[in-house]
Structure 1
């Protein structure tokens, strides 16, 4: 996937969603987090598509999807995902969510009452408190950040995202991550999605984690400096049907640091 491009589009009630489908077999849906996009699944999709029909998309306000000057918070992402499930005619797919994608999976299951065969959560945002000091600062002063010069914005975003990876980030990966956030539209969108982040979206569902009956696999990068692994253990203890796996030499972006190990754990879980 030298040039990662989503080829399909869906008009949700909240905005235009870019997506794609690869492979054949049982359906599995991949949902990215923030400030990422489906680009970060590029090393996972080819392997999974050998056994599954892989559905992947960019959240509203991210990547190649529309970036409206409106609500792109976690409060609408579960509703959009529910619409996509109807559009794709998926009744009980396997779902994989990373970071905010994990939150979207949990909110869709618990609030929208959508059924999933199995749930895989990778370093999800699920237990308060969450958000780095940078995240908290931007959340408070969104308008001030939107007005900074583009070259300063690019430098800040580059430094920020590289902190999510345990291994050094190559230029191709870095460009693929930050390009959607460049230019006037991208810059505004970057700070907008941070400003709209709120712990209330996880507080709303945290007390229901013990009610999940579907098999859940929680995967965590041992060197995740964004969401410490202790938060993953706490989430695991709140669920009755979960397994917990930690991956060494991996930060918050496990799919970038250790894609092969990540795929092996996913396949092992799905084979049981």
Structure 2
């Protein structure tokens, strides 16, 4: 289905946002149907969104990057136009989903871009299956080896996750209090020019769907119960990141201040951090030019860095 066709079947899925040059496909993976939006030709680049977004979050980088690469913008389990199973929102299963997608598409090796929760899954994908990822661009997410002395003073910034991860409360808030989600989104956009009100309304609509509200709750709870414990216990220190990786951090990110990012270099062959001046929690929307430039530099301007 082309991006210029909006699906509006009675009782069916909501209409698809339009982005020129994008086509939409559904792939069966791990027992559920995953939606992907594709654009461009060339070496494949997989893009993993954060919360409460979906494939449409990449609309501002698609035009430039699709001139060089085949972009595969994934709606992760429970989000966008993918199915929302009752379970499977832990990071390991989400990584399984992406690997199953690569297998289904016949892709042995790809470049990877991830934002926030998608970026966390991206780190775990690189650690588990480094042979599948040629280069990784992580946006607005900490690496798996933050220094506790830097992270602990910033823990208060994650206050909102306590609301979202609490059983039954999280889904109720997402369904019935869209102003809470709107507050998080608006706080994430530091540059007013980077905030697209139509896109914000789309994210709010999607996040409030009953099955997706349940998925949002489950995502946050799984991270709190499993990944935070792993960070606290230093479980990831046994692992080494061999994928060339660049983190882009927003200078004014209300969730992840750049000061928490040093310290991961000792656990990686090639891990770099760059701070995007004046940007907040959504660098791909506020500064798409910086994301495109970083991707082309990391992956090879015409795809030459991918193999």
With normalisation by structure 2, the TM-score equals 0.79
1:155 aligns with 179
Aligned to 1:57: 74
Q: Distance in 1 between matches of 2:174 and 2:89?
A: 24
CA pair 136-156 structure 1, distance change in 2 beyond 3 A: same
| Alignment partners' CA distance in 1, 2:294 and 2:256 | 20
How many residues align structurally? 269
CA distance in structure 2 between the aligned counterparts of 1:98 and 1:148, rounded to whole angstroms: 23
Question: Which of 288, 293, 296 matches 1:259?
Answer: 288
Q: Residue 144 in 1 paired to residue 161 in 2?
A: no
| 1:231 aligned onto 2:290 | no
Correspondences of 1:63-212 after superposition (within 5 Å): 63-127=80-144, 132-139=158-165, 141-147=166-172, 150=175, 152-168=176-192, 169-198=195-224, 200-201=226-227, 203=230, 206-208=236-238, 211-212=240-241
Please give the root-mean-square deviation of Cα atoms over the aligned residues, in Å. 2.5
Give the C-alpha shift of residue 23 in structure 1.
0.7
Find the aligned partners of 1:145 and 1:26 in 2 and give their Cα distance: 39
In the alignment, does 2:53 pair up with 1:24? no
CA–CA distance in 1 between the matches of 2:263 and 2:199?
A: 31
Question: Is the contact between residue 135 and residue 194 of structure 1 (CA under 8 Å) also seen in structure 2?
Answer: yes
State the TM-score, normalized to the length of structure 1.
Answer: 0.88
- 2:251 and 2:278 in contact (8 A); partners too: yes
In 1, Cα distance between equivalents of 2:163 and 2:173: 15
Distance 2:111 2:161 in 1: 30
Contact 1:75 1:201 in 2 (8 A): no
Matches of 2:283 and 2:174, distance apart in 1: 31
- The 1:123–1:14 alpha-carbon spacing in structure 2 relative to 1, beyond 3 Å, is farther
Asked if the contact 1:118/1:214 (under 8 Å) is kept, the reply is yes
Q: Verify the 8 A CA contact 2:130 2:242 in the aligned structure 1.
A: no
CA positional deviation for 1:270: 2.5
Partner SS state of residue 100, structure 2 = helix
Q: Alpha carbons of 1:229 and 1:238: their partners in 2 closer, same or farther (altered >3 Å)?
A: farther
The structural deviation recorded for 1:41 is: 0.6
Structure 1 residues 189 and 101, CA, compared in 2 at 3 Å: closer, same or farther? Answer: closer
Q: Deviations over 1:174-224 (max 9, x none)?
A: 112222112333333332322222363363763155x22232112111111
Unaligned runs of 5+ residues in structure 2 are 4-16
Distance in structure 2 (CA, Å) of the matches to 1:166 and 1:64? 28
